[in-house]
Amino acid sequence: MQDPQNEMLTLGLAEAQALAEAALRHAGIAQEAARMTAEALVLAEADGLSSHGLARLPFYLAQVHAGKVNANAHVQLHTRGACVRVDADHGFAFPAVSQGLEVALERVRELGVVLLAIGRSHHFGVAGHPVERAARAGVLAMAFANAPAAIAPWGGHTPLFGTDPVAFAAPRAAAPPLVIDLSLSKVARGKVMLARQQGQPIPADWALDVHGQPTTDAQAALAGSMLPAGEAKGAALALMVELLTAGLTGSHFAFQASSLFDAEGPPPSIAHTVLLVDPTFFAPGFVERAELMFNAIQAQEGARLPGSRRWALRAQHQREGIGITRALYEALLPGPARA
């Protein structure tokens, strides 16, 4: 017999937004920050990226209650020419990223290129979302974020780098933006966590144990390190991201950051960087020219543009709603029902 707590419930996106926002407000998060954070998590669900969706919220709430996330964070912005620097004040990343991006998008129209750097922050969420927002405004964007340590330097076995997402988006004339969104581990760490929960083995080329040996044991993999995408090249890219994010903002490098999956320790204090480029300054007609490349890709049988699955899932979930377990639903209800 199925555990009733594993029963799947279907929620409309507006209902899911209200549930998440109420849970955050009940934890003491200010209204606008709660709205932005809930919106980001629900959009992740809509895009089929549930590892970055509502399942994160119980961890978020526990961290607020423990003081690991600053419920009263005051986002501070500093600008100089083409530079926008944001201090997230150990609050959730989404309000800091949104406010910084708003200013950066205004400046890029005038300056052509803008660098946005957000420090003392928290979980970046779906890296493709802020670059998508920029691309919908007609701007090319590339984002980087660091995360708590999960990848060892190539040849080593102690994690020093995060799984460190990298995302890129380009505007299109008559279609959703091109969005490329990936992490620098060979597979998402969430897949290993899921295998552990289900008591399933993992492929031997996903991770190393604490001794630096390939393992099929998910628990040993989580105690060890994830293998980088592209082997030595992926590890080098992760180092690059660490320097472009934590290094540039004075935030924690991956090996200094506390976990995003428990309420122990100090704030993770990680960082994010977004590079914005106005393509019309460099090459008028960029959007039309880019379609030449996109059409050439789509003309090949079996080929598709990155991100196309995301748009299909988003449209489906907008129509049909999203599924979450009864256990998660009840955990997000405010008040005594949460117990």
Give the span between the Cα atoms of 185 and 150, in whole angstroms: 8
Give the span between the Cα atoms of 110 and 102, in whole angstroms: 14
Q: What pLDDT does residue 199 have? A: 82
Give the span between the Cα atoms of 189 and 6, in whole angstroms: 22
Q: What pLDDT does residue 335 have? A: 64
Q: What pLDDT does residue 192 have? A: 85
φ, ψ dihedrals at 318, nearest 5° = -65, -35
Q: What pLDDT does residue 198 have? A: 74
Whether the predicted pLDDT of 113 surpasses 50: yes
Share of the chain above pLDDT 90, in %: 87
Orientation of helix 128-136 relative to helix 93-111, angle to 10°: 40
Give the span between the Cα atoms of 141 and 279, in whole angstroms: 10
List, for residues 4-60, the tens digit of each pLDDT value: 777 889 999 999 999 999 999 999 999 999 999 999 999 999 999 988 999 999 999
Residues 6+ apart with CB under 8 A from 166: 127, 142, 143, 144, 182, 183, 184, 237, 241
Whether the predicted pLDDT of 230 surpasses 80: yes
Whether the predicted pLDDT of 3 surpasses 90: no
Q: What pLDDT does residue 2 have? A: 60
Q: What pLDDT does residue 337 have? A: 42
Give the pair of three-digit tokens for residue 166: 């990298």
User: ∠ CA(62), CA(68), CA(72), 5° rounding?
Assistant: 95
Across the beta sheet with 83-87, what order do the strands follow?
Answer: 76-80, 83-87, 113-121, 270-277, 140-145, 166-170, 178-182
Can you give the pTM of this predicted structure? 0.93
Q: What is the dihedral of CA 109, 114, 117, 118, to 10 degrees?
A: 0
Whether the predicted pLDDT of 339 surpasses 60: no
Q: What is the mean pLDDT of the chain?
A: 94
